[in-house]
Structure 1
Amino acid sequence: MSVVPNILSCICCMQDFGIRVLYDIGVVSTKEPFKCLINQGLILGEVEYTAYRDNEGKWVSADSDSSLSDCIQEKVPADKITKVGDNYVLKDDPNIRLNARAYKMSKSRGNVINPDDVVSEYGADSLRLYEMFMGPLRDSKTWSTGGIEGVHRFLGRTWRLVVGAPLPDGSYKDGTMVTDVEPTFEQLRVLHKCMARVSEEIQETRFNTAISAMMEFVNAAYKWDTQPKSVIDSFVLLLSPFAPHLAEELWFRLGHAQSLAHEQFPEAKNEYLKESEIVL
C-alpha cells in the first residue's frame, strides 16, 4: 500500500485515471470520481463594434449591397452607438448599421479583462456573482463592465437592507437594522419561495436565475416595515455561496459568534409555498 500516497498526488491532474487505479487496488469503492461532469462556457471579451468606410471616407452600412471587403474597417466606441431593434447603428447617423461581435479574449486583440483589476474596483464578491449571473453555466457569454456594475449595486442594496444607510461621513454604524420580531405570513411566504427557487436552481446549475430570485427577495424586503431577524438570517445563508465575504460580514453583524460556514443551508417549507390567492 506504499504506492497509495504517490497515486493520490496525481489525482488532481488525472482524476479519472487515478480513481480507476485506486478502484482496481481496492482503495475506493467507485469507478467514477464525479457524479456529473460540467464543461463551463467560454467568457468572451466585450462586444466590439465595427463600422465601414469606402475609399472616399464615407460611411457604408453593414447591410449594404456593396462589398464590405473593399471598405476600411473602423472600430467605434460604445458611447457613439445606439441600438435600434436588433441592430446597432451610429448615433449621428442611424442609417449606418454596424457589425457587433464578441471575440475570445487575447492579448493581440487587447480585450483581456484582468480579474485583479475587477476585484480592486468592485470586490471579489461582485466578480464572483457577476460570472454566475452572466448566463447559463454551459453557454459562452460576453463580458460587460456595465453588467458587473449591476450586481455590485445589488450587493450594495443587500448591505443597506441589513445594515442601514451610511452615516454622513460614509461609514456605517455597528449592528444592523433588523428587529427580533415574529415575521408575518407574507414575509415567510416571500422568503420560502426564494429558498425553494434558489435551491432548485443550484441543483440544476442555473446560478443566474438563482441570483435573480434573490434580487426579487431584496426588492420585496425593501417594502416591509420591519426586517425580522429570522428572515434575514435565512436570506444571508442563501446568499453565502454566491457572495461569501459579504454574507460572512453580515452574519457576524447579525450577532452570530460562529462562521456561517458551519450552518445548515436553509430549506423551504411547503406550507409557505402555496399561493394565498388564485385568479380565475
Structure 2
Amino acid sequence: LSDCIQEKVPADKITKVGDNYVLKDDPNIRLNARAYKMSKSRGNVINPDDVVSEYGADSLRLYEMFMGPLRDSKTWSTGGIEGVHRFLGRTWRLVVGAPLPDGSYKDGTMVTDVEPTFEQLRVLHKCMARVSEEIQETRFNTAISAMMEFVNAAYKWDTQPKSVIDSFVLLLSPFAPHLAEELWFRLGHAQSLAHEQFPEAKNEYLKESEIVLPVQINGKTRGTILVDKECSEDDVFQIAASDDRLSKYLDGKAIRKRIYVPGRILNVILDQQKKLFEEVKHKISLVGY
C-alpha cells in the first residue's frame, strides 16, 4: 500500500488489459479503479450536452435506461453509450438501408408491403410481450435487450414486412422517440406516432407448444408449416400435404421415403424412377405405340 499513489488519471490515458486497468504509456503500472458519485468538487461530472452533440439525444436516453434498473446505482461508462448508439444505427439501416456513397440515405425504406410469415410474427409478438412486461416493472434495460434481439433476428429475414416494422417502431418510440418518429414518417405515415396505440402481443403467437417446421422436397426446402411439438410423422406429413404452398410439389407424386426429425425437419423423397417411367410412358402414348 505504501507504493500506491493516489492520483486521478484521465480516461483517455487508460486501457484495460484482462481484468485490470493500466496506463497506455506504461502497461506495467496497474491502476485501482474506483467509482465516485458525480460532483463538481471531484471534477468527474459528465456534461450531457457533450454526449448529445456526439451521440444524439436518443443514444443518451437509451443508455441511461440500459445501464440497469432505475433503483440501482450505476457506473457511467462512455464505452457503454457507444454500444446503444450502434444498436440505433443498426435499427436505422434495417429500415432505411445502407448509406449512399456520399453518406446520405435514399428516400423511403427497405421494407416491403408483404404478408409476414408466422415465424416473423412470432418473433415480433414475443418482443412485444417482453417489452410490455419489462416496462410495467420499470426494467427498461431488459426491454431494450429484447428489442436488440428482435433487430438481430430481423436482419436474417429475406424481406422486412411493413406491418412488422411498423409495430417495432412503435415499440421503440418510448425509448428513442426522435429516431422512431423519423422512421415512422419514412414508413409512409402522415400523422405522428404519438397518436398511435402501443402494440399489444397476441397469445396465438406466444404458444411454445407449436413450432415452425421446415419441409424439404428431395432435399430442397420448399416451405414451412406450423405443427404441434408432439405431432406424429403421419400428422406432420398430412399437414404438409394440405398446405397450399407445398401441395403442388406432392400432389400425384410417388413418394419413395419420408425422413422426419421431430421438432427439426421433414424431408420427403420422391420416387424419381417412377416419375421417369411415367414420362416415357406418356411420350410413347403420344406417338401412337
Pair 1:171 & 2:104 matched = yes
**Matched letter for residue 248 of structure 1:** E
Q: Which protein is bigger by CA-based radius of gyration?
A: 2
Task: Report deviation, 1:107.
Answer: 1.9
**Matched letter for residue 150 of structure 1:** G
**Matched letter for residue 215 of structure 1:** M
Query: What is the CA deviation profile of residues 94-142 of structure 1, one whole-angstrom value per residue up to 9, with x for unaligned ones?
Result: 6x65321111112222211111111111111111111100111100111
Pair 1:246 & 2:179 matched = yes
Query: CA separation in 2, counterparts of 1:112 and 1:98?
Result: 21
Query: CA separation in 2, counterparts of 1:122 and 1:93?
Result: 30
Partner of 1:49: none
Partner of 1:32: none
Normalising to structure 1: TM-score of the pair? 0.70
**Which stretches of structure 1, 4 residues or more, deviate above 6 A after TM superposition?**
none
Query: What is the CA deviation profile of residues 23-62 of structure 1, one whole-angstrom value per residue up to 9, with x for unaligned ones?
Result: xxxxxxxxxxxxxxxxxxxxxxxxxxxxxxxxxxxxxxxx
Partner of 2:66: 133
Q: How does 1:52-67 map to 2 (within 5 A)?
A: 66-67=1-2
Query: What is the CA deviation profile of residues 145-184 of structure 1, one whole-angstrom value per residue up to 9, with x for unaligned ones?
Result: 1111111111111001001111111111111000000000
Q: Kindly indicate whether structure 1 or structure 2 has the higher relative contact order, using CA contacts under 8 Å at least 6 residues apart.
A: 1
CA gap of 1:123–1:74, structure 2 versus 1, over 3 A, is: same
Q: Which runs of 5+ in 2 are unaligned?
A: 212-228, 230-262, 264-289
**Matched letter for residue 153 of structure 1:** R
**Matched letter for residue 82 of structure 1:** K
Q: Are the equivalent residues in 1 in contact too, given 2:14–2:21 (CA < 8 A)?
A: no
Q: How does 1:1-280 map to 2 (within 5 A)?
A: 66-67=1-2, 71-78=4-11, 79-85=13-19, 87-88=20-21, 97-275=30-208, 276-277=210-211
Partner of 2:238: none
**Matched letter for residue 189 of structure 1:** R
Normalising to structure 2: TM-score of the pair? 0.68
Partner of 1:38: none
SS at match of 2:6: strand
> How much identity, in percent, do the aligned residues show?
93
